[in-house]
Amino acid sequence: MMDDRVELTARKKRKQRRIRCIAVIIAIIVAFFIGFLIGYVAIKSKSSDDKNKGKKHDDRTADFQKRHEEVMKHHEKFQNTVSEQQLESTLK
């Protein structure tokens, strides 16, 4: 008689554990879908491209080329200042 009661309580505990696990899994799935819907419906923030909306594509290309030329000037200056002998002496 006592064993029957212990066995019943063990079964109840297993059943409650299964119900809790299922509830947790369902809660995680629901939270995921709510987050997905919020992300899908949310208003997107303004990006840095908004400041370039007024400019034409050609203007942006010209700006990029100008910046590229400046970078190349600095790169050439750096290459001219570095020589093989300096590198060898530095690495020794």
10-residue mean pLDDT profile of the chain (92 residues): values are: 68 91 97 92 68 66 88 86 79 76
Note down the domain range covering 63.
Answer: 57-92
Instruction: Please report whether residue 48 resides in a domain.
Output: no
Alpha helices (H) along 42-83:
57-81
Residue 52: count of CB within 10 angstroms of its CB: 13
Instruction: Please report whether residue 46 resides in a domain.
Output: no
Residues 35 and 64 in one domain: no
User: What is the value of pTM for the model shown?
Assistant: 0.42
Average pLDDT over the chain reads: 81
Instruction: Please report whether residue 21 resides in a domain.
Output: yes
Instruction: Please report whether residue 49 resides in a domain.
Output: no
Residues 62 and 90 in one domain: yes
Instruction: Please report whether residue 51 resides in a domain.
Output: no
Quick: pLDDT tens for 59-82. 788 888 889 999 899 888 888 887
Buried b (16+ CB within 10 A) or exposed e, 53-78: eeeeeeeeeeeeeeeeeeeeeeeeee
Instruction: Please report whether residue 47 resides in a domain.
Output: no
